[in-house]
Structure 1
Amino acid sequence: MDDTPLWMREQLHGDYAQAMRVDDVLYDSQTDHQRLRVIQNETFGRVLTLDDVVQVTERDNFIYHEMLTHVPIFAHGAATRICIVGGGDGGMAREALRHKTVKHVTMVEIDPGVVEFSKRYLPTISNGAFDDPRLDLVIADGADFMKTTTGDYDVIIVDSTDPIGPGEALYANTFYADARKALKDGGIIVTQNGVPFMQGDELTRTMRAFQALFADATCYLATVPSYAGGPMAFGWGTDSGARHTDVNTLQTRFCASGIRPQYYTAEVHKAAFALPGYIRKLIP
């Protein structure tokens, strides 16, 4: 009997790869859009992959989801309507709906297969979010939805995959322009922009688009262990001064929310916008 462990090799980047030991394969299916797998790993728990690229893990997803939701919501201070583009695992909805002040969350996911198997195989990630009456799940292409929506959102969160396959349209300038129209005055858009050390062009393209659309265009950072190559960048665009909300105000809002995250704090929020030199150079 061969006891050699099975390893999944992820090669998102052309000259760099990471590997994760596969202790068990819990789900493996090819949908109309992509290959979905859920594997078990001792360190990361259950891991969702799309075309063998890690999307989310049970153990470290809190970092990614907390930073893409709580930073814009607490910075805004009065957000009641949120739009999530992507996020089929339900983690982003989970964190957005933890805010008592949020009255409505629209979640636009292109692939219903992601939602259904996430409910079954990754239930701890959504943690009941799909049953919250404030959530409106829309199965549609995010780019098409944004062209026609009149949602008037306070915050738009783009929880996209990497800019290949079905996620590619969510990095286009036209998508960002349509999203800008869907924001209320003072609204904020945040985006997943990959690991700048490995994917610098991705961040630069988004920042160029944001600079043409918003008075305040930058990014902030968080380190997610399962996304190799350094800290992740999250794009930030708004016409308001929300980024400059002082730490005492953020702390007051945080305490009033009753939310007890594992990663987010008011101090981490402010520090996340302090960019290393190599990342600042990627912003035109």
Structure 2
Amino acid sequence: MSDTRIPGWSVETLHDGYAQALQETELLYDSETDHQRLRVFTNPRFGRVLTLDGVVQTTEGDNFIYHEMLTHLPILAHGAAKRVLIVGGGDGGMARETLRHTSVEHVTMVEIDAGVVEFSKTYLPMLSQGAFDDPRLTLVIDDGAAFMKTTQEKFDVIIVDSTDPIGPGEVLFTDTFYGHAKRALTPGGILVTQNGVPFMQGDELTDTLRAFKALFADWGCYLATVPTYAGGPMAFGWGTDGGARAVPLDTLEARFAAAAIETGYYTPAVHKAAFALPGYVQDLLP
């Protein structure tokens, strides 16, 4: 095994035979919790960067793409989402985008590691932008799988903002977890999930969608390109028993205009186009 250390650079080796490197101009935080090693450093292109166990989780520069596509797409597709559950998302970016919808009355956020939340408030405040202080947000420090198994609450949209299926995030990619998530949805509710870069992590997408196929009348995935999630476009799992995927473009445009939200990536046209899959991704569907 070759030495992947480069002085002054953070090298990610998540995928076999492939690595990406981000220059570190300043190390702001480096601490190991009971669950994972957290680091924050600055990069000339992406600003502040958060890594967990050496893997890029989010950056100041491109986080808006990931967070917008996992929030605005299901919320606007649903059209009447009042209660939203976020599993993970300790940096606060997902809560930030969800709470921009004034029509959303309550957000429950379940994060396994209180340390992620606390240091994000200090070192990545531009991600949450005050979301943790919003009275509509309830923060629960708990294992997401345990919460989903026992909750009696119902949600219109469930967003699984998990790490990759290794370590603490592994239980969030199981058939049992998805089954519990479906039980927690209201009629016509939508479940969306982070499913990695399918060019590099095809099995991850196939396994999730095999479970979705058994659970939901409408299942599949949609795509977005996030520069620091290297290796091609990222896939997001989609599951619902309602007709939200088929909402016409003009309806999405009206809902987006009414929401009065400024976005850097999401548009109603991108929303519709994101479900158009290239052949190699279609081949991964069960």
TM-score scaled by length of structure 2: 0.97
Query: Is 1:5–1:23's contact at 8 Å kept on the other side of the alignment?
Result: no
| Matched residues, number | 281
Q: CA deviation at 1:150?
A: 1.4
Which residue number in structure 2 is paired with residue 220 of structure 1? Answer: 222
Say whether 1:159 aligns with 2:170: no
Query: Is 1:194–1:232's contact at 8 Å kept on the other side of the alignment?
Result: yes
The secondary structure found in structure 1 opposite 2:73 is helix
4+ runs deviating over 3 angstroms: none
Query: Is 1:189–1:237's contact at 8 Å kept on the other side of the alignment?
Result: yes
CA distance in structure 1 between the aligned counterparts of 2:255 and 2:64, rounded to whole angstroms: 20
CA distance in structure 2 between the aligned counterparts of 1:20 and 1:266, rounded to whole angstroms: 32
Which residue number in structure 2 is paired with residue 110 of structure 1? Answer: 112
- 46, 59, 62: which one aligns with 1:60: 62
CA distance in structure 1 between the aligned counterparts of 2:202 and 2:209, rounded to whole angstroms: 11
The secondary structure found in structure 1 opposite 2:13 is strand
- 129, 135, 138: which one aligns with 1:133: 135
Which residue number in structure 1 is paired with residue 3 of structure 2? Answer: none
- The one-letter amino acid paired with 1:253 is R
Which residue number in structure 1 is paired with residue 74 of structure 2? Answer: 72
- The one-letter amino acid paired with 1:132 is D
Structure 2: runs of 5+ lacking an equivalent: 1-5
Q: CA deviation at 1:14?
A: 1.7
CA distance in structure 2 between the aligned counterparts of 1:108 and 1:203, rounded to whole angstroms: 23
Query: Is 1:37–1:48's contact at 8 Å kept on the other side of the alignment?
Result: yes
Which residue number in structure 1 is paired with residue 45 of structure 2? Answer: 43
- The one-letter amino acid paired with 1:44 is F
Q: CA deviation at 1:5?
A: 5.4
Which residue number in structure 2 is paired with residue 232 of structure 1? Answer: 234
Say whether 1:180 aligns with 2:179: no
Which residue number in structure 2 is paired with residue 199 of structure 1? Answer: 201
CA deviation map 1:125-153 (0-9, x unaligned):
00000000000000000000000111110
CA distance in structure 2 between the aligned counterparts of 1:14 and 1:178, rounded to whole angstroms: 32
Q: CA deviation at 1:260?
A: 1.0
TM-score scaled by length of structure 1: 0.98
CA distance in structure 2 between the aligned counterparts of 1:221 and 1:201, rounded to whole angstroms: 16
CA distance in structure 1 between the aligned counterparts of 2:250 and 2:181, rounded to whole angstroms: 30
- The one-letter amino acid paired with 1:57 is T
- The one-letter amino acid paired with 1:135 is L
Structure 1: runs of 5+ lacking an equivalent: none
